[in-house]
Amino acid sequence: EAYKRQNKLGLALKRFKSIHDIFDVWYEDQFDFHSFSLRKGMIRAYVDMIRWEDHLRQHPFYSRAAYSAIDIYVKLFDDPNHGSTNGDLSDADKKKAEKKARKEKEKAEADKKAAAAAKATATSEEVVKKEDTDPQGEELLKTKDPLAEAMKYLSPLLEQSPLNIKSQQAGFEVFIRREKYLPALKCLVAASKIDASDATVKEQTARLRKTLSELKEPLPEKIKEVIDAELATLP
């Protein structure tokens, strides 16, 4: 979150992805526990573990990382240059930043060569540290489909933390940009049921109505009927 506030979005996404991957490992571990628990007769522990896994993504560590990652990817979709650190600099400062980046790249290449030489002389008993090929998270920022990346964080939230209004609001922001108006409306209705007086819910409701009224091509009649009926229930 500190990197995000400093606009170091690549580093921020790396940290958020690390948290996401950790929770994925925990979630997948339950499949290894199936046969083990039955073999050892640990039925109570097995049931407790399954119940815990069902609410795993409700943990604040995951939800905070997921909401922040989704916010970054939504902004990258709206403005692909949002992650650029040189966007607001003067020409002189840009040249300094480019020169600094060039020096850092040269240093990284030199360190890489030195590490490769050290690895070549290392004995077979020595542990080789795994190389980080994207230390600044630049590849994460270069994604061609930021909304697809956002969905990786959003889907677990909607599945395991649907009663958190932030999950539904994040879902709305992703779906409306993907032009998936029914899922966007579903998230909006769910958020309204949680807190109809929430300012963001009111703003998103107005934005959805405006977006639907300005569509270049009309929606299929059946879909339009469903959307109109649900929108009528919103304040």
Read off the pLDDT of residues 27-63 as tens digits, 9 standing for 90 and up.
776 666 666 666 666 677 777 777 767 777 878 889 9
Distance CA 86, CA 95 (A): 10
**Would 182 be classed as within a structural domain?**
yes
| Residue 87 in this model has a pLDDT that exceeds 50 | no
**Would 189 be classed as within a structural domain?**
yes
Looking at the structure of the chain, the number of domains it has is 1
**Would 220 be classed as within a structural domain?**
yes
**Would 119 be classed as within a structural domain?**
no
Domain that holds residue 213: 162-235
Read off the pLDDT of residues 88-143 as tens digits, 9 standing for 90 and up.
445 555 466 556 656 766 776 676 676 666 666 554 444 455 677 788 888 899 99
More confident residue, 159 or 25: 159
**Would 28 be classed as within a structural domain?**
no
**Would 77 be classed as within a structural domain?**
no
pTM over 0.75: no
Q: What is the DSSP string of 7-24?
A: T-HHHHHHHHHHHHHHHH
Structure-token pair, residue 51: 């119940």
Mean pLDDT for all residues in the chain: 82
Read off the pLDDT of residues 59-71 as tens digits, 9 standing for 90 and up.
888 999 999 999 9
| pLDDT value of residue 78 | 93
Only one residue has tokens 């815990």, namely: 52
**Would 183 be classed as within a structural domain?**
yes
